């Protein structure tokens, strides 16, 4: 079941946070893909993240931020994955990786109903 293109929202985060997100996703991709019901969703997210990494690699001057498209369903899934990872992190852990994952979570939280109003404000 695919979502219409109008349900696709841009997600913007720092390039470093994006790369941490990609590393996280790559680390659990094979395990996630084993769920037959989620396979199409998992692969579509992986394709989007891979395209973003390839775009970053081609650029001579690396941008400070990257914007990539996710459907509401994709954003919800990735957000849930990050929340689960952060819940497993030790309390009081304030290292850079945790900060970047928090940034990813913040960026992904804007996707959905509030994203339209946010885009109108820009």
Question: Please, which pLDDT band fits residue 122 given cuts at 50, 70 and 90?
Answer: very low
Every domain of the chain and the residues it spans: 9-109
* Cβ-contact 11, 105 below 8 angstroms: no
Q: Convert the pLDDT of each residue in 39-71 to its tens digit.
A: 999 999 999 999 999 999 999 998 999 999 999
* Cβ-contact 9, 72 below 8 angstroms: yes
Q: Which pLDDT score is estimated for 7?
A: 83
pTM listed for this prediction: 0.80
Q: Convert the pLDDT of each residue in 34-47 to its tens digit.
A: 999 999 999 999 99
């Amino acid at each position: 079941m695919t979502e219409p293109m109008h349900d696709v929202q841009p997600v913007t985060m720092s390039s470093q946070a994006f790369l941490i997100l990609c590393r996280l996703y790559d680390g659990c991709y094979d395990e996630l893909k084993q769920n037959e019901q989620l396979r199409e969703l998992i692969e579509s997210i992986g394709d989007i993240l891979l395209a973003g990494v390839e775009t970053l690699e081609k650029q001579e001057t690396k941008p400070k931020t990257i914007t990539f498209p996710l459907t509401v369903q994709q954003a919800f899934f990735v957000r849930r994955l990050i929340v689960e990872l952060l819940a497993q992190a030790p309390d009081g852990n304030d290292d850079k990786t945790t900060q970047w994952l928090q940034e990813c979570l913040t960026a992904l939280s804007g996707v959905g109903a509030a994203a339209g109003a946010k885009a109108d404000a820009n």
